[in-house]
Amino acid sequence: MNFPNRLHKKLIQRTESNSLRSLNTQNDLIDFSSNDYLGFAQSNELHKKAIQILNEKQHKNGTTGSRLLSGNHSLHEEVEQQLATFFNAESALLFNSGYDANIGLFSSILQRGDLIFYDELIHASIRDGIQMSHAKAIKFKHNDLGDLERKMLRQAQHDTQSHTEPIEVYVVTESVFSMDGDSPDLKGISEVCKKYNAHLIVDEAHATGVFGKNGEGLLQQYDLEHNVFARIHTFGKAIGCHGAVVLGSNELKKYLINFARSFIYTTAIPLHTVASIKVAIEELVILGNGEESPLLNLRTNINYFNQQLKDTNHKLNFVDSTSAIHCCVISGNAKVKIIASQVQDKGYDVKPILSPTVPLGEERLRICLHSYNSIQEIDEILILLGTFAG
């Protein structure tokens, strides 16, 4: 069967721009690329605890259907209550992935005529959810509070002058951006949302397990969780498993159960995943910020990495970040791929992030720090970057 010509041409274009993606298996290099910030994905102890829960529940394999049919289990509801308590929320609803959570949330809550302001670097899953809705979407400059307020004021004045009926207004941002590792002024955005009567939504995917007393995220660290209409936490990063949760009011949970298509029309999240989430959250509570805490080790490594960047003289173009994600901008797909390969040849796993995933000219090496990276490994990778990219 012939492959469609238009699709073939798109593959050719990707190849010619040096941006064609392919799948690779895991390697034995020193990890500076995965989202397993706390090492939970590698934990035999957490794996054993999850299996023990499943044995106690006498669970076999699949969940057999959507949660509205045969797939709802007492463990789903138990873990949702656990998550609501941990994240200090009124309610919690599990989704099969962060992508599913954002698709379901934004495509269902945004109604025709509603308005949503979104950061220009917001995650693709949020953009897709917005596009599936009938709302008007306006982007604002990345982490630019002034630009957000100017655009909200302009829209409010337009609505007043045109005598437009009051509409629901939403603002969405991430607490830690996945490609830059930087954070917005969450307090400032919260105040602007109050001023313009807008509903704030924050994706905490890369803050979960990294910020907050026990890894609850940046909103709780700043005591802002009750200023937010909805929060999204995902479990495929620091939590080391899979799935996601949307946190909000009881009414929001009831609404999503009835209208979020990515929740309604899919087989329920597997119980092995739910058990893994349960034991990982319990581990965060038990370890806290104790001397053996992976959270403390991670934060120590982040602080050390940033201090070394300040103390060295090489001219690496790093985006400012206090998170586990650090990005060295190296313009050009071909150039950043070559440098990534050179670092990998020395035994360190770093990944090039290419356009069109990031804007043309802003290609970068994405370096993820972990609780299990040693000071020596951090020193060595910075030396390598200084040699190849400095």
Are 161 and 281 found together in one domain? yes
* In the chain, % of residues over pLDDT 70: 97
Which conformational region is residue 190 in: left (phi greater than 0), alpha (psi within -120 to 50 degrees), or beta?
Answer: alpha
- 365 bridge partner residues: 328, 352
Q: Strand 199-203 to strand 230-234: parallel, antiparallel, or no bridges (unpaired)?
A: parallel
Q: What is the pLDDT of residues 328-348, one digit of tens each?
A: 999 999 999 999 999 999 999
Q: Is residue 302 part of a domain?
A: yes
Q: Is residue 2 part of a domain?
A: no
Are 337 and 235 found together in one domain? no
Q: Which of 269, 287, 305 is the last residue of a domain?
A: 287
The yes-or-no verdict on residue 203 having pLDDT over 80 is: yes
- 230 bridge partner residues: 201
CATH assignment at residue 34: 3.90.1150.10
Q: What is the pLDDT of residues 64-92, one digit of tens each?
A: 999 999 999 999 999 999 999 999 999 99
Residue 364: is it exposed, middle or buried by C-beta count within 10 angstroms (0-12/13-18/19+)? buried
- The candidate with the shortest Cα–Cα distance to 53, out of 364, 270, 200, 370, is 270
Q: What is the pLDDT of residues 152-182, one digit of tens each?
A: 999 888 776 665 666 899 999 999 999 999 9
Measure Cα distances from 231 to 149, 195, 296 in Å: 21, 20, 24
Q: Is residue 14 part of a domain?
A: no
Are 157 and 200 found together in one domain? yes
> Which of 46-60, 162-176, 225-239 shows the highest mean pLDDT?
225-239
The yes-or-no verdict on residue 316 having pLDDT over 90 is: no
Question: What mean pLDDT is predicted for residues 291-296?
Answer: 84
In this prediction, residue 271 carries a pLDDT of 96
The yes-or-no verdict on residue 360 having pLDDT over 70 is: yes
In this prediction, residue 287 carries a pLDDT of 80
pTM of the model: 0.94
Band (pLDDT 50/70/90 cuts) for residue 257 is: very high
Are 238 and 373 found together in one domain? no
Are 77 and 180 found together in one domain? yes
Tokens standing for residue 87? 């994240």
The answer to whether 47 touches 53, Cβ cutoff 8 Å, is no
The yes-or-no verdict on residue 378 having pLDDT over 60 is: yes
In this prediction, residue 139 carries a pLDDT of 97
CATH assignment at residue 214: 3.40.640.10
Are 296 and 376 found together in one domain? yes
Are 156 and 66 found together in one domain? yes
Q: Is residue 50 part of a domain?
A: no
Measure Cα distances from 78 to 25, 92, 258, 299, 315 in Å: 35, 10, 20, 30, 51
Question: What mean pLDDT is predicted for residues 109-121?
Answer: 96
Domain of residue 64 covers: 57-287
Q: Is residue 130 part of a domain?
A: yes
Number of domains in the chain: 2
The yes-or-no verdict on residue 21 having pLDDT over 90 is: no
Question: What mean pLDDT is predicted for residues 130-153?
Answer: 96
The yes-or-no verdict on residue 313 having pLDDT over 70 is: no
Helix (H, G, I), strand (E, B) or coil at 324: coil
In this prediction, residue 320 carries a pLDDT of 92
Average pLDDT taken over every residue of the chain: 94
Band (pLDDT 50/70/90 cuts) for residue 60 is: confident
Band (pLDDT 50/70/90 cuts) for residue 22 is: confident
